[in-house]
A and B are shown apart, each in its own frame.
Chain A
Amino acid sequence: MTKVFQSGHHPDADQLSAFVEHALPPHEQAQMQAHLAVCPDCRTIAYLAQPAVVEETAADPRPVATRRPWFSGWNLALPAALAVAFLVILGIHLRNVSTGRNEAQLDKTARIEQSPPLSQTAPPTPLAVPPKPIPAPMQKPQSTAALSTDALAANSASYAVPMRPEPKQSSINGPLTGRGGIALPSPNPAVVSDATLGDQPRQAVSGAAFRPASPAPAAASSASAPAAQSAAVGSVDAVHQELRSSATQYNSTTVTAQSNLNQAFQAPPSPPPAPGAATETVTVTNAPAILETESNASSEVIGGKAIGSLAAPTLKMKKQPSLPSHLPALSTISNTGQQLAIDTAGSLFRSEDAGVSWQPVPVQWTGRAVKLRLAPPPSTQSFAKSANPVTATAAAKPSPAAPAQACFELTNDMGIAWLSTDGQTWKHE
C-alpha cells in the first residue's frame, strides 16, 4: 500500500485518474474501491473525472453516412411502371370479359339451336311460332330440318334483330316447355326439368343430337343434301331417345306424351309427307332417317350470320345469298327448289333457281318481316281446330293444290305469321 492509502489519507489525482482509466494493478484497484466506498469526496472526484459522453462526442465527431435506399432513384419510375401494369391488367381483363360474354352469347344461341321445338301447344311468346299441331308421318325430311331451323330462327331472331326483351327467353323455352311441362301434367319437377331442358340435360341432349350431325356438314356443303338431312333427322331421333332414356322414371308421363303425339300424328288418315310433321314422326316412331331433302332446306341465315341448328358448321360454310338489295340475308329458307330470303331491311326475295337469281316479293304483310320458316300444310287438324276461320280457310286452301308441299311461314317483328305455298302470295295465318 502506498503512502496515500494510509489511514486518514486520500488518493492523489494520479491514483484516481489511474483508477478511472483502469490503469491500476488489481490490488490497488481493490484498495481504491474500498476507499471510494467510504469516501464520498473521492467518489465525487472519480465521477467528475470521468470523461463526459458529450465531451467525447464533441471531440470525435463521426460523420454519419446517410444511406439511401437502393430504390430511391426509382421514385418516378416505380409509379409509372405500376400504372402501366395496371392498365395492361385492366385491358386483359376487359378483353376476357368481352370474350366471355360473346362466348356465353354464342353458347346460349347454340343451346337454343340445339333444343328442338317439340311443343304441340302454343308457345307463350309472340316470337315463337304459333302452335302447329300437324301430325304427319315422317316422309318429308325437309320438315325435320326445317323444324330445327325454324326453332333456331325463332329463338335467334332476337339475337340479330333488336326486338322486345322477352322473346329470347320465351323463344328458348317456349317449345320445350310446351312439350314436356305443359302438355304433360307432371307433378315431379324432374320431368319438367328434363322436358324444359335445363342447362345440363339440354347440353346432354344437344350433344347427343349434334354428334351424328357433326360429320355431316362437310358432305352437306358439297351439295349432298340427302345425307345431311338424314343425319339431321337421325340427330332429332337421338334427341328424343336421349330424353326418353333420361326420364325413365317418368315413363308413364312420357308414354302419355307419346300417345298424345301419336294421336295427333295419326289423326290425318293419309296425308302426304308433310314437312312440319317430321319431328313428331321421328319422335314417335323412331324411324330411320333416310330422307330426301336439299341441303339448303335446313339453312337459315340470321343477321348476316349463318346459324345452323343441326348442321351449324355446314351453315357457317355456306355462301351468303347475294340479294338484289345488296344487304345480308336475315333469314333464308328453301323448299323444293324454291328459296326465300329476307334481308336485314325486311324485304323478301324469292328464287327458283337455287339462289342464282332473286326476285323481290311485294309486301303483303304488316310490319317488318324478320323470319322465315317452313310450316306444315294448312290442311291439318290443327288448322281445323284453329279458332280463326279465316286462317283455317286460307290455310286449307293450298292443300288440295299441293297436298304434299309444305308452306312457307313468314313472321313479322310483331310475331304475326303469314303463310304462303309458293312464296309469292301470302295470307295471314
Chain B
Amino acid sequence: MDAASQPGELALPPSTAEPASGTSPDGQADVAVATSSGLPPSLIQELWLAADAETCGLTREEFSTALAAVGAKCHCGVPPEIRLTSAQEATFYNSLRLPELALAQACALGRDDAWQRFLNLYRAPLTQAAIAITGSATLGHDLADSLYAELFGLTERGGQRCSPLASYSGRGSLLGWLRTTLAQRHVDHHRRTYRETPLDGLDAAAPAARAALPAELDRLKEGVSQTFAALPPEDRFLLASYFLDQKTLLRISRLLRVHEATVSRKLKRLTADMRKQLLRNLQSAGLSKRAAEEALGADPRDLDINLRSLLQSSQSAAFSDKTVQVSPDSQ
C-alpha cells in the first residue's frame, strides 16, 4: 500500500474490518448499535433505509459503525473547535452519499453481492478514467487492474484485509474517489519509475563557489522571500498552478469552480499586487523608490532565488519522507 491511501485506512474503525456474520437486525441489536456508535437508532434506521444497505449485504451495525467512523474523521463537517449538535450531525449524515458509502463499505468487507454490483457500475468508468490519466490504453488497463486487486483487499495488515474502499467517506462521489485513487497510484508509479531513471542526462554541473552578491541583490532576495511568504494560501495555490505547474486557466477554473476569466483577472491582479508589495518591502529595507525600481530590473539569473522552493517550502520534503517511511511497509 502506498502512502497516499494510508490516512484513509487509519480512519477506518477496526470493527468494520470484520464482517458482520449473521447479525439479525432486531430491536436489541439496534440498541446495541446505537450505543456503540453513539447515533440515535431512528437516525440509523433512516440512513440505513436511505442507503439501501440491505441489498449490499450490510447490516445496521456495520453501517452505523461506518457512519460513526466517517463522522469522527470529518468532525461532521464543522470546524474542530465548534461543539457538535445532534442537528448538525443529522444534517451531515443526510448530506452523505449513503448508497455509495454502503456499497463501498460492503465491498471493503468482502461481500460478493456488493462486489458484483460495484463491478457492474464502475468497471467501465474506472478503466476510462485510468486511460485518461495515463494517456495510454495499455497503461490505463494495467493501472485499473492493479487498483482492482488493491481494492479487493489482497494486502493484509496485522492479519486483516485492508481495502482502500474503507476510507471512502461518502462526501464526494465514489467514482471521484476512484479517480483520485487512480491518480495517486499513477503518481506513485511515476515517482518509482522516476527514481529508477538513470541520472546521467539529468546530472547537473557542480555549483560553483557562491560569489558574494551585491547588497542590492541581497535586499532584493530578502524582499522577494518576504513577499512570497506573505501570500495567502489561495494565491500561492493559484501562482503555483499557473506558473509552476503550467496548468491552463480552464483547468484551474474547473478545480476552483470559477470562470476562467476570473482566474485570469486574479492572476493579473496578483502579480501587480506582488510587484507593489515587493517595492514596499525594498523601500522598507532602506532603498529609495528609484533604487527599488532599478533593483526590480535586475537580471533574475543574478538572483539566487528558487521560486518553487519559496512557494513549496517544506511540503515536498514531507511527502518524500513519508514515501520513504511507508515504502518498507508496502514492500
Contacts and interface: CB of A to CB of B under 8 A. Distances in A.
Contact of A8 (B10, B164, B321): B321
A40 B244 contact: yes
Contacts of B79: 25, 27
B233 A37 contact: yes
A44 B236 contact: no
Q: For chain B, what secondary structure do more than half of its interface residues adopt (helix, strand, loop), or is it mixed?
A: helix
A83 interface: no
B181 interface: yes
Interface stretch (B16-24, B127-135, B195-203, B217-225): B127-135
A50 B176 CA distance: 8
Contacts of B314: 38
B168 interface: yes
B318 A14 contact: no
Interface string A107-136: 000000000000000000000000000000
A169 interface: no
B5 A12 contact: yes
Kindly name the residue among A25, A28, A43, A48 whose own CB sees the greatest number of chain B CB atoms within 10 A.
A48
Contacts of B179: 17, 48-49, 51
Contact of A13 (B184, B245, B313): B184
Contacts of A44: 183, 187, 245
Contacts of A58: 128
B161 interface: no
Given A10-B4, A46-B255, A39 B319 contact: yes
Contacts of B169: 14, 18
Nearest to B238: A37
A43 B177 contact: no
A10 B237 CA distance: 15
B204 to A, nearest CB: 19
Interface residues of B, number: 63
A353 interface: no
B312 A33 contact: no
A48 B183 contact: yes
B4 A39 contact: no
Interface stretch (B70-78, B207-215, B282-290): B70-78
Interface in A42-56: 43-52, 54-55
Contacts of B315: 35, 38-39
B77 A25 contact: yes
Contacts of A43: 237, 240-241, 245
Contacts of A45: 4, 180, 183-184, 187
Contacts of A326: none
Interface string B283-325: 0000000000000000000000000000111111011011000
B257 interface: yes
B236 A21 contact: no
Interface string B111-137: 000000000000001001100110000
A22 B256 CA distance: 8
B11 interface: yes
Given A14-B171, A21-B172, A8 B318 contact: yes
A48 B8 contact: no
A11 B187 contact: no
Contacts of B6: 12
Given A2-B75, A30-B233, A50-B254, A40 B316 contact: yes
Contact of A22 (B77, B184, B236, B257): B257
A7 interface: yes
Contacts of A59: 125, 128
Interface in B75-103: 75, 77-80
Contact of A38 (B8, B10, B78, B311): B311
A16 B180 contact: yes
B8 A40 contact: no
A48 B133 contact: yes
B159 interface: no
Contacts of B237: 33-34, 36-37, 43
How many A residues touch the partner, as a band?
Answer: 35 or more
Interface string B236-271: 110111001101000100110100000000000000
Contacts of A35: 233, 315
Given A10-B3, A20-B172, A21-B172, A37 B236 contact: yes
B164 to A, nearest CB: 7
A17 B7 contact: no
A17 B241 contact: no
A3 B11 contact: yes
B280 interface: no
Contact of B173 (A21, A34, A52): A21
B167 interface: yes
Contacts of B11: 3, 12
Interface centre among A27, A30, A39, A45 (most CB of B within 10 A): A45
A243 to B, nearest CB: 87
Contacts of B239: 37
Contacts of B257: 22
Nearest to B239: A37
A361 B315 CA distance: 136
Given A18-B172, A25-B78, A45-B184, A13 B321 contact: no
B4 to A, nearest CB: 6
A97 interface: no
A267 interface: no
Nearest to A36: B237
A253 to B, nearest CB: 90
Contact of B172 (A17, A41, A47, A48): A17
A13 B180 contact: yes
Contacts of B8: 12-14
B7 A40 contact: no
B252 to A, nearest CB: 9
Q: In the complex, which of the residues B3, B78, B171 has the most CB atoms of chain A within 10 Å of its own CB atom?
A: B171
B26 interface: no
A34 B180 contact: no
B156 interface: no
A13 B311 CA distance: 23
B141 interface: no
A18 B181 CA distance: 12
B7 to A, nearest CB: 4
A1 interface: yes
B329 interface: no
A53 to B, nearest CB: 8
7 contacts: A10-B7, A14-B168, A18-B169, A23-B171, A46-B255, A58-B128, A59-B128
Given A12-B11, A16-B180, A45-B180, 7 more contacts: A8-B321, A24-B171, A25-B79, A33-B233, A37-B237, A38-B311, A41-B191
Interface of A: 1-4, 7-14, 16-18, 20-25, 27-28, 30, 33-41, 43-52, 54-55, 58-59
The 7 A-B pairs with the shortest beta carbon distances in the complex, nearest first, are A34-B233, A37-B236, A48-B183, A37-B237, A8-B318, A17-B180, A12-B8
